[in-house]
Amino acid sequence: MKNWLIGIIVGLWSVAAFAGGISLFPTVTEIILPPGTSYSDMIYITNTGDEAVTVEARVLGFVAPEGVPRFLEPQFDNYPFSGKDILTVEPAVQIIEPGATAVFTYELHMPDDLNPYGGRYVAAVFKVRPTASEEAQVVVATQVASIFLVSPGGEASPHLQMGDMRVYQFKANPRKVIIEAVVTNTGNLHISSDQIRGYIYITDADGYIVDEFPASTHTLLPGNSYMHQEVWYAPEDLPSGTYQFHFALVLFGPVGTSPEYLFMSQEVELNF
């Protein structure tokens, strides 16, 4: 028994790679790159720490259903609008001295034959190679990413869809009301956070507005879908009854196009 207990001791140590940091410029590049064209520029990585660091550059496609990039390892990257094949970054590895800035050159090349036609989404990811000691079992590393939103122009455009709206009260606090709807970009181009606005209206049984507030929207890539969720706290003096929740989304397009309006309503009985 004693041997078993001793044997089962699990010793774990984690070692962070360094006490300093790295900074990145630029953070986001949005570009129109027609098929068959290329664009080249530079990314700057600065070592703000006290020790030299080794930085590894990788190219990863990503999706962003919640507005936060989810990087896709190449072997699992089946996203049809992934830009993993259109970006190259050089060099792959650089040692950066304390306080120094390293320059990585990138090239975007939009192929002639885009299948499917539409935007491409890719990131140049820079990881600090951990300098963990030999006995370290858990290694904490840091990385930064330069995001590319690439449009081929032409027939590429976003298209918004909304469905499955639900409104329900939080069990522990009935005045906390959850408003949900599934929002999808069914187009072939991203919706920038600067192109979309949302609003929630709550009306009573007679159609009078009880409350209203902006809905938080974010960039949505083509083919990405997410459960939009808003929390509304009903005023303390609001009586139980039937109310209607309205969720409005407006997607603005280029000059000459009409904005895309989406509107969903849900009637709900609120009991306080």
Partner 1 sequence: MRKGVIWLLLLLFATSCFLPVVGFAKKGGAGVKVKARVGGQILIEIASGDEISFEVDPVMNPEDTAVTEIVVRTNAAKYSIIGKFGEFLIGDYDLIEHEKFFIRSKAPGSGKAIDDWIVPKGEVVILKDEDGRTPGETTIVEYLLKVDFTVPPGEGRLEIVYTAVPAF
Q: Which of 32, 182, 262, 264 binds partner 1 (CB under 8 A)?
A: 32
Q: Which residues pair with 214 in a beta bridge?
A: 199
Closest separation in Å from C-beta 182 to partner 1:
19
Cα–Cα distance for residue pair 95/256, rounded to 1 Å: 50
Nearer to partner 1, 201 or 226 (CB): 226
Nearer to partner 1, 44 or 261 (CB): 44
Closest separation in Å from C-beta 59 to partner 1:
14
12 binds partner 1 (CB under 8 A): yes
53 binds partner 1 (CB under 8 A): no
Closest separation in Å from C-beta 70 to partner 1:
6
Q: Which of 90, 97, 107, 164 binds partner 1 (CB under 8 A)?
A: 107
22 binds partner 1 (CB under 8 A): yes
14 binds partner 1 (CB under 8 A): yes
The angle at the Cα of 31, spanning 28 to 34, to the nearest 5 degrees, equals: 155
Cα–Cα distance for residue pair 21/99, rounded to 1 Å: 10
Amino acid, res. 239: P
Nearer to partner 1, 132 or 264 (CB): 132
Burial-class residue 172 by CB neighbours within 10 Å (0-12, 13-18, 19+). Answer: exposed
Judge contact between 206 and 214, C-beta under 8 A.
no
Q: Which of 101, 137, 186, 242 binds partner 1 (CB under 8 A)?
A: 137
Closest separation in Å from C-beta 19 to partner 1:
7
Asked whether the CA dihedral 111, 117, 118, 123 is positive or negative, the reply is negative
How does DSSP classify residue 9? Answer: -
Tokens found for residue 179 = 């408003």
Nearer to partner 1, 66 or 267 (CB): 66
Closest separation in Å from C-beta 173 to partner 1:
15
Amino acid, res. 69: P
| Interface region with partner 1, contact rule CB under 8 A, candidates 69-77, 157-165, 181-189, 258-266 | 69-77
25 binds partner 1 (CB under 8 A): yes
Q: Please give the residues from 212 up to 231 whose contact with partner 1 meets the rule CB under 8 A.
A: 216, 218-219
CA–CA distances in Å: residue 228 to residues 59, 75, 224, 267: 29, 29, 12, 18
Tokens found for residue 196 = 């979309």
Q: Phi/psi at 92 (nearest 5 deg)?
A: -80, -30
Judge contact between 126 and 27, C-beta under 8 A.
no
- Which residues of the chain form contacts with partner 1 (CB under 8 A)? 5, 7-34, 36-41, 46, 48-49, 64, 66-71, 107, 125, 127, 130, 137-145, 147, 149, 151, 153, 193, 216, 218-219
